[in-house]
Amino acid sequence: MQSLKRRCSNSTRLFTNLSIFKALPSSKNQRPLVLFAFLFLGVTHLQAQRVDDLIYDRDDPIRPLVIGAKAGASWNQFSQPGSLMAGNAGAFVRVRLLPFLQIQGDLLYDISGGGRGDLDRDLALFTDRFGSTLYDGPISHLRYLNREVYIHSVKVPLTVRLGIPELIESPIQPRFVVGGSYSYILMATEMRDQYFRFDDGSRIILSDRSENVSSDYFDYNIAIHGGFEMDFNLTNDEVFTIGFIYSQGITDLNNIQFGQPENIERLRTRSFSINFSYSIF
């Protein structure tokens, strides 16, 4: 009903514009151009109002189009022991296909990753093609401990949201979600402790050392996800959503083809996230 009233109001404005046109003094050559301008403005306004009706039609218990912001926290690991906590933030667009079926696309800045195994570096093993040792210094042994890799990426998930038809008018609506995602990796950073042993027998540990290791990882990741979400239809006609999502990577991210066993293992992401989203339009 509200949509019908708005359209009638818009039509009235359009005819008012045409009546104003009659009062304009113009030559015969100018009148068609002015008429076209008024018609263009009226049609443009009506089209804009139709988009507004699509988003803001409050007579419908489920809005056909929802645009909003989202953020969340995640627990991440590779396909091996060792986890870390990270998160994501961005925006989403949600489109209703059926009263109980929606599709959602996100654009997120995402941080994922996981722990890596300790890595021993025997510097005497680094030789050139003639067998000569490349390193000639006081350090006899180097070991990387407590390795954690943080992968920064732009992530684009696509999700199907399936609700319960009997609850489409309920203020709280549970939904099962399933989908896939593509991530373009911007940077990979490794945090670690470095243990040094010297020729004279002395030892030292340097904690929380950081290194850009982007070249060790592929620049994209494809994953699938599934989980459960709850939509809360608020009294201000907006929608607040909380979601619990598990994601499994398909791409082997390890870009190192040869070397020590600790460096050439397969790496696929795994994560469990709790996400919060709020509609804006």
Torsion sign, CA atoms 134, 137, 139, 143? negative
pLDDT of residue 35: 47
pLDDT of residue 138: 79
What torsion, rounded to 10 degrees, do the Cα atoms 269, 270, 276, 281 define?
50
Q: Label residue 16 by pLDDT band (50, 70, 90).
A: very low
222's CB contacts (< 8 A; 6+ apart) are: 180, 181, 182, 183, 249, 250, 251
278's CB contacts (< 8 A; 6+ apart) are: 68, 69, 70, 238, 239, 240, 241
Q: Within this chain, do residues 145 and 12 fall inside the same structural domain, yes or no?
A: no
pLDDT of residue 4: 42
Contacts of 60-63 spanning 24+ positions with Cβ under 8 A: 61/99, 61/168, 61/169, 61/233, 62/96, 62/99, 62/102, 62/168, 63/96, 63/239, 63/279
Instruction: Judge whether residue 12 has pLDDT over 60.
Output: no
Q: Within this chain, do residues 31 and 109 fall inside the same structural domain, yes or no?
A: no
Strand partners, 89: 71, 109
Which domain covers residue 190, as residue numbers? 63-279
Q: Within this chain, do residues 97 and 161 fall inside the same structural domain, yes or no?
A: yes
pLDDT of residue 260: 67
* Arithmetic mean of pLDDT, 129-139: 61
Instruction: Judge whether residue 112 has pLDDT over 60.
Output: yes
The rounded distance, in Å, linking the Cα atoms of 114 and 149 is 6
Q: Label residue 57 by pLDDT band (50, 70, 90).
A: very low
The answer to whether the beta carbons of residues 111 and 86 sit under 8 Å apart is yes
* Arithmetic mean of pLDDT, 124-129: 56
CATH code, domain carrying 250: 2.40.160.20
Q: Within this chain, do residues 70 and 91 fall inside the same structural domain, yes or no?
A: yes
Mean pLDDT score across all residues of the chain: 81
* Closest to 263 (Cα-Cα) out of 81, 122, 118: 118
Q: Label residue 118 by pLDDT band (50, 70, 90).
A: confident
The answer to whether the beta carbons of residues 231 and 239 sit under 8 Å apart is yes
Q: Label residue 275 by pLDDT band (50, 70, 90).
A: very high
Tens of pLDDT, residues 25-47: 444 445 544 444 554 455 445 44
pLDDT of residue 128: 55
Q: Within this chain, do residues 44 and 103 fall inside the same structural domain, yes or no?
A: no
* Arithmetic mean of pLDDT, 250-279: 87
The answer to whether the beta carbons of residues 161 and 101 sit under 8 Å apart is yes
Q: Within this chain, do residues 48 and 91 fall inside the same structural domain, yes or no?
A: no
The answer to whether the beta carbons of residues 165 and 99 sit under 8 Å apart is yes
Q: Within this chain, do residues 211 and 157 fall inside the same structural domain, yes or no?
A: yes
Q: Within this chain, do residues 49 and 123 fall inside the same structural domain, yes or no?
A: no
Q: Within this chain, do residues 217 and 274 fall inside the same structural domain, yes or no?
A: yes
Query: Residues, the chain, total?
Result: 281
Q: How many domains does the chain have?
A: 2
Most confident segment among 10-24, 30-44, 260-274? 260-274
